Structure formats: C-alpha cells, structure tokens
Amino acid sequence: MVLLKALLTLIALVFLWGVNSCALAEPLSIGEDIPYTLLVDAQGELTFEQAQQSLRDGVASEQATLSRGYTRDTFWLRFELTQKELGAKERWLEFGPNFVDDIQLFFREKGSSQNWHSRHTGDLLHSVSDLDYRNPVFVLPALSADTQGYEVVVRVRSSSTVILAMTLWAPEEFLGHAARSTSFWSFYFGLATLSSLLALVLALILRTHLLWTATAFSAAYIFVASVQGYINWIFPSTVIPLQHYATSTLILISFAVLIWMSSETINLRTHLPWAHKILMAACAVTLSLLVLVPLDLYNIAIYIKTVILLLTYSLFIYSVFHIWVRDRFSLSTLGLGISPMLCMVASLFGIFSAFGWIPFNQKVYVIWQYALVENMLLVLAISVYRIRKRRVEEFERHKLLSDLAAEREASFNQRQFMGTVSHEFRTPLAIISAALENLQLAESEIDSPRLARYQKIERASERLIQLTDNCLADARLSAGTAALYLEAADVMQLISSAASLVHLSDSHKLRVTVNGQAALAEDFQCQVLVDAAMMRIAMSNVIDNAVKYSTGGVIHIDCSIADASVAVLICDQGSGLGDLDPEMIFQRYRRGDSSKHGTGLGLFVAQQIACASGGRLKLVSSTAQGSCFEFTLERVIKD
C-alpha cells in the first residue's frame, strides 16, 4: 500500500506538472518557431568563416529540432533573432539535451562588423554555461533601439546521438520554468532514492532474485541524472568528464538489468528455462559492449544493443503470454510481467528518437524516464505482495505491531500529502491572482459591477493562499526533523511584509508605532533572529485574525525593545475571544466563540513558528473592546 500510494502521488504530480506547464508562457523553439539554415560538414574541416559564409548564402528552411542520430558529421546552423523575438530585454538561449559532446555558439548584432561573441559548451566540457543551471544557458544582451536583432551560428558534433534543442526564453519565464523543473526532478530523485533503498533493504532481508534485480535497476536513476545534466551540475570542475562516460555506460547497464529483471518477474528460470538462458546471454552480451565506450565506439555499441533489445523484447512478450495461457498464473504475476514490458516499449521511443527515426520531442523523450519509476515501484509492490501471501501466519502474529506502524506511516503520509498538495496549489493560485490583477487594471469604469465581483474573487484567492501557506508551515513544523533557517531580519520589514499579505477593508486602518510613539521605519533599526519567510506567515496570521474578527477600527502594531528581545504587540478593536481559555486558542483547529469562519490553524501555526524561532506568542488581553497578542523574539545585538 505504501508503494501504491507513492505511485499514485507520482502520477498526480506528473499530471499537475503537465497542466501547469501548459498554463505558463512557452519559449520560442529554434526550428519549430524560428527556422534555421543547416550545413553538414562531413569531414569536420570547415572553419567558422567558411561555414558562416556558406550559411549566409543559404535559405532558412529547417523547421524542426535538429535530430540526425548517431553520426560523426559536424553540423552548422544559422538563424536570425529579430526585434520581434527579442523585444527590448535580454533573452536567454537554452541548449539541450545534455549528452551532446561539443557545441559552439557564435552571435553578433545583425549588420554589424564587430567581432563575433563565442561560447563553447558540451558534456565533455562539463556543460559550460552563463548561468548556474543543469542545462547550458547563454545570455543574449538586450538590443539597442536602432539594432535589427542578432545573427546566430551554432556548431555541433557528438560521439553520441546528434540532437540539439534550442529554446529562447524571457528571463522571468525561464526562472519560473527552472524552479518548477528542479522541484519536479527533486521529487523524482527523492522517490527514486527511497525506492532504491527500500529495494536494497528488502533484498538483504528476503534475498530473492527479483529484489536484487530491483536494487541493480537503481543504476537507471543515475543514468537519468546524467541525461538531465545533474552530474555536470553537481561536479562541475572534475578532470574526468563523468557525465559523458556515465551516460554511455549506464544506458548499457540499465538495459542489461532490465533484461535480467524481465526474466525474474515471471520466474522464467522455472517456467521456461530455455528462454531464461537466452535472456541471460543477451544480458551478458549487452554488458560486454561496455568495452566499446572507452574505445570511442559508442555508436556501434548502441546499434548492437538495439538489435539485442528488439530480439529479447519479442522473446519476452512471447514468454509472458505463453506461460499465462499454459499455466494460468495469477493476475499479480501477469501484471508484474507486463510492467517491464511497458518499460521496454517506453524506452523504444527514446531509442527511436536517438536514431532520428521519429521526430525529437522533449515530452516523448522523457516518457521512459517516468516508466523507470513506475516499473521499480510496481516490481517492489508486487514482490512484497507475493512475500506477504507466503507469510500470512507471521503477519497475524505481528498484527498489533504492524497496525501501530501503519498508523504512524499514515500520519506521516498525511503530512506529506498535505505539504505536497499545498505546494502544488501555490502555482495555480499565483496564476489566478496575476490574471485577476490584469482584469482589474483593464477595467476602465470605476463603478463597474465587475469590479465588485473581481474583489470577491480576490478575497477568496487571498484566503486560499493564506490557507495554503498555513498548511505548508504546519506540515513542515509537524515533520519534526525540519529546522527553521534562522537569520538576522529587520523587524520593521517583517511587519511591513506580513501586513502586505492581509486584505484591509475600507473600515480598517493599520497603525505601526515604536514604544507607543509614531516613528519612521528607517529610523527604527532593529534585527531579530528568525526564519523570515515563516515569521512573515506567523505575523500575517495574527494580523489577518485582527481584521477578520473586528468590524472596523484601528489595527495597532507596536514594537518595543528589551535588553535581548523585541516585543511586537498586535491589537484590534473586535469583540474579543469570549470565555475561551487563553491557552486553548493556540491549539490546532481551535477557534474563538465569536468565530464564524476560518480553520483554527492560523494561531496554532503562528505560535509553533514563534517557539521554533526561540521566542513565543501569547494572548496579552481579550475584552469586549478588542484583543492583543504579543510576539517575543530574540534580538540580534551587534558588536
């Protein structure tokens, strides 16, 4: 069940990732959006000047991503970027995939006689880049008003497949894309690590061939990390091109292990021994191809591997259905046999794309990378299910301990689920807020009835954002192992930032004082030791309560300094908390007697954040004329 939940979570994340990707602005693709001129240099002897002159005389007719399969030819591309594509700001040109050996970029302003700017990258060069990112990204400076655009020339050659995808980004769009992509792959590799460790532990305890194949299959995740550029990103200054050799060797190892796993999933050594021997021989031949990598014969190894895979895939499919019809094994065994079959089929898309037999598409290209996780999780899940059936009596004897462990795990999964869902809500809510702001700005009539509806939507959106932040903070604090990142922060900036998150009605006013006296923020220089992001959530929760539970009046925030601490007092003019115990108001999901809405999570999260920061939050007073809450925070005293 744990593995099934993890699999469902992965599928949901991939779905949300795809949906959100569609919601964001798409970059311009060189080929699909911007045609280019292509020159093939079979001998690799052309100089830049010769290639550039030939390209200038050609016509930009290529309108697809460059994909030429395993060839040693050198390719020159030329395209132009006009003011229309570039605009008035700088643009970032991203290159991929990461296993291309040698890429040279040349660019200069159109019609200019200046020297060409050049950049040199590739996985043999540790993917040199203008930006600290896993893919090579180069900055094209903003154009002056009288400049027509850029002319760009790219030279590419590779001992692996020649695929070159180039995308032109606006910086702000790229940063959002990079953050989302990094978050997704962090989740992917986190899940991969957990499943690999689980496979290793189970293999050591239960010592079954299938679990050992699942453990060995973890090498495929390192291969994915190489394809995605993480090896060069994490180890940028190594002398040996780790990513280059890791990509070449691990793809052969991964497919050899997949053949081995395929045989073990349906226990071919028992049901069909001759087929098992053939698959093991294919596995050994695939591993022997590793000797061709240091000899710079990787392309030959790939051709041989592809022939082996097509033959073994066909044999495996025959074996699965032959044994199922003959022996009528259980549906779980059939499902376990189909799982690597699906992984094989998915991998064929990557192979066919690498050979240039089908057009390169980034989404299609990574399908098999998702299939790796699905295959691993399914193999582990059904393996555990098989073992569980054989040990029913032992399971019954340990039922009580198992139930307790399941309850703790369910609590953990609940926190993980809440944190994941809340995190995924933030992006669509940000898009809604941005779209709503544009609609309000576009409204020309001050008294338009649409403005009122927009304001209602805005308040609801802000409420969801606050609830999402509280759920994320609650999940992080409840995890127990997640420490806050304490650093010095200006207390007045914290208050201003927290207040900006709260929607004040026309009947409310916000007043900030220092020791009861009006003062400018810049005149009050005082720092506290907090996690700024988390403390902003805590303070905004208290200020938001002051607004929600008072019909109007002044929300008064006062700062006062003691020897080693700073007190922040937040008072409203509401109706108070009634007869509720002052300590109970800080319990999770507890609300005051006068509360008609809210989740009862805000004050709980605020107090937990304050305590985790070494401070505290308490209720100072609560009467029919209003309530006052006080944050006490550790002061940073400069020498």
Confidence class for position 18, pLDDT limits 50, 70, 90: very low
In angstroms, the CA 509 to CA 586 distance is 26
* Of the listed ranges 40-44, 264-268, 302-306, 349-353, the one predicted with least confidence: 349-353
Token representation of residue 128: 């040199």
Does 334 reside within a domain?
yes
> Could you please report the per-residue DSSP string of 329-360?
--HHHHHHHHHHHHHHHHHHHHHHHHTTSS--
DSSP code for 498: H
Does 22 reside within a domain?
no
For 208-227, what is the mean pLDDT?
86
Percent of residues in the chain assigned helix, strand, coil, to nearest 5:
55, 20, 25
- pLDDT, tens digit (0-9, with 9 covering 90-100), for 492-512: 888 888 888 787 777 888 888
Which of 426, 455, 478 corresponds to the end of one domain?
478
pLDDT of residue 161: 87
pLDDT of residue 11: 46
Residue 2 has pLDDT above 50, yes or no: no
Does 179 reside within a domain?
no
**Domain range holding 78?**
28-172
For 191-199, what is the mean pLDDT?
85
Shared-domain flag, residues 79 and 157: yes
For 514-522, what is the mean pLDDT?
77
Residue 450 has pLDDT above 90, yes or no: no
- pTM for the whole structure: 0.55
Q: Which residues pair with 162 in a beta bridge?
A: 69
pLDDT of residue 87: 80
pLDDT of residue 286: 93
Is there a contact between 121 and 105 (Cβ–Cβ < 8 Å)? yes
Q: Which of 551, 550, 555, 541 is nearest to 600 (CA)?
A: 541
Does 514 reside within a domain?
yes
Does 530 reside within a domain?
yes
563, amino acid identity: D
Shared-domain flag, residues 65 and 206: no
Q: What percent of the chain has pLDDT over 70?
A: 80
Shared-domain flag, residues 216 and 352: yes
Q: What is the mean pLDDT of the chain?
A: 80
Is there a contact between 470 and 501 (Cβ–Cβ < 8 Å)? no
Shared-domain flag, residues 277 and 159: no
Confidence class for position 288, pLDDT limits 50, 70, 90: very high
Shared-domain flag, residues 464 and 496: no
> Could you please report the per-residue DSSP string of 62-80?
B-S-EEEES---EEEEEEE
pLDDT of residue 505: 77
Shared-domain flag, residues 468 and 346: no
In angstroms, the CA 116 to CA 118 distance is 6
Beta strands in 573-625 (DSSP E): 616-623
Shared-domain flag, residues 373 and 248: yes
Is there a contact between 244 and 298 (Cβ–Cβ < 8 Å)? no
CATH at residue 292: 1.20.1070
- pLDDT, tens digit (0-9, with 9 covering 90-100), for 477-493: 666 545 677 888 888 88
| Cis peptide bond prior to 97, omega within 30° of 0 | yes
pLDDT of residue 57: 85
Residue 621 has pLDDT above 60, yes or no: yes
Count of domains for the chain: 4
pLDDT of residue 335: 66
Token representation of residue 452: 């009122």
In angstroms, the CA 556 to CA 570 distance is 6
Shared-domain flag, residues 146 and 218: no
Distance of CA 635 to the CA centre of its chain: 36
Shared-domain flag, residues 215 and 345: yes
Residue 129 has pLDDT above 80, yes or no: yes
- pLDDT, tens digit (0-9, with 9 covering 90-100), for 587-596: 876 665 555 5
* Of the listed ranges 220-229, 594-603, 610-619, the one predicted with least confidence: 594-603
CATH at residue 125: 2.60.40.2380
Residue 318 has pLDDT above 50, yes or no: yes
Shared-domain flag, residues 190 and 161: no
Is there a contact between 158 and 101 (Cβ–Cβ < 8 Å)? yes
Q: At what angle do helices 171-206 and 219-227 cross, to 10 degrees?
A: 170
Cα torsion angle, 314, 317, 322, 327, sign: positive
Which of 121, 144, 172 corresponds to the end of one domain?
172
- φ, ψ dihedrals at 15, nearest 5°: -65, -50
pLDDT of residue 13: 46
pLDDT of residue 534: 84
The bridge status of strand 102-109 relative to strand 28-29 is: unpaired
Confidence class for position 624, pLDDT limits 50, 70, 90: confident
Is there a contact between 94 and 166 (Cβ–Cβ < 8 Å)? yes
- pLDDT, tens digit (0-9, with 9 covering 90-100), for 76-128: 999 999 888 888 789 999 998 888 989 999 999 888 888 899 999 988 877 78
Shared-domain flag, residues 118 and 202: no
In angstroms, the CA 296 to CA 437 distance is 57
Does 9 reside within a domain?
no
Does 41 reside within a domain?
yes
Does 102 reside within a domain?
yes
Task: List alpha helices for 240-366, DSSP H.
Answer: 242-265, 268-271, 273-288, 298-327, 331-354, 362-365
Shared-domain flag, residues 147 and 276: no
In angstroms, the CA 419 to CA 440 distance is 31
Write out 138-185 in H/E/C secondary structure. Answer: EEECCCCCCCCEEEEEEEEECCCCEEEEEEEECHHHHHHHHHHHHHHH
